[in-house]
Amino acid sequence: MISIIDYGMGNLHSVRKGFERVGADVRIVTEAAEIDAAEKIVLPGVGAFRDAISTLREKGLDGAIVRAAEQGKWFLGICLGLQLLFDVSYEDGEYEGLGIIPGKVVRFDFAGRDDEQSLRIPHMGWNELHWQRDVPLFRGVPQGTHVYFVHSYHVVPSDAQVVASRTEHGGDFVSSVWRDNVMATQFHPEKSQKWGLAMLKNFAEL
């Protein structure tokens, strides 16, 4: 059973439907006790880091998420759900994250470049995924597969060994991470058609 955390800022319908399409058993959870009892966990997210981390703390979900990661439960963060795992975000200020993966969240910055006008922020649409190592989430997915992004900020891990994949948008940025039981993507596998669904299936079968 896969538990998808509902804290009011996730694209729950698309994520749930994606898992259901690959035959996974899923449920929506809203309480810390449900996270503590979960087998596998998905943390989705759309919107501002500040609002998301504040809501997780107000609902008492932050501690349960950290416990789940530390206990070795399979964990998948998606989009904002990736960024929340990091120490700090500089989105419209400075906000402390969950601290599960050391590093920071920063905005794309193309100011002063000759190609500035052609580099859109937010980075939106389809782009190539290039993984750095044999990641369980990407099993059977071709190198260079196009996946769907919508984001203005990206993560900068302190430890390069957690980098699972990189993508090009005005330079190289980290598009997914993997450490032990914790995996997270900046892109949306639930919106990435055939190969995105293959990733969700891989997670369900771990």
Tell me the per-residue pLDDT of 26-72, one tens digit each, with 9 for 90 and over.
Answer: 999 999 999 999 999 999 999 999 999 999 999 999 999 999 999 99
User: Among residues 123, 151, 169, 188, which one is catalytic?
Assistant: 188
Told to judge if 190 belongs to the known catalytic residues of this protein, a careful annotator would answer yes
User: Among residues 79, 91, 123, 154, which one is catalytic?
Assistant: 79
Which residue range is the domain that position 143 belongs to?
A: 2-204
CATH number at residue 125: 3.40.50.880
Q: What share of the chain is helix, strand, coil (3-state, %, to 5)?
A: 30, 35, 35
Q: Which amino acid is at 17?
A: K
Tokens of 7: 């804290």
Nearest Cα residue to 126 out of 42, 46, 194, 201: 194
For position 18, what pLDDT does the model report?
97
Cα separation of 104 and 174, whole Å?
12
Q: Where are the beta strands (DSSP E) in the chain?
A: 2-5, 26-29, 40-43, 74-78, 86-89, 95-96, 101-107, 123-128, 130-131, 146-151, 153-157, 163-168, 172-179, 182-185
Kindly state the DSSP code that residue 188 receives in the 8-state scheme: B
In DSSP terms, 123 is beta-bridged to 151
Q: pLDDT digit string (tens) for 118-160?
A: 788 999 999 999 998 899 999 999 999 999 999 999 999 999 9
Band of residue 116 on the pLDDT scale cut at 50, 70, 90: low
Told to judge if 130 belongs to the known catalytic residues of this protein, a careful annotator would answer no
Query: What predicted TM-score, i.e. pTM, was given to this entire model?
Result: 0.96
Total count of domains within the chain: 1
User: Among residues 31, 58, 190, 205, which one is catalytic?
Assistant: 190
Band of residue 203 on the pLDDT scale cut at 50, 70, 90: very high
Tokens of 174: 């980290």
Told to judge if 146 belongs to the known catalytic residues of this protein, a careful annotator would answer no
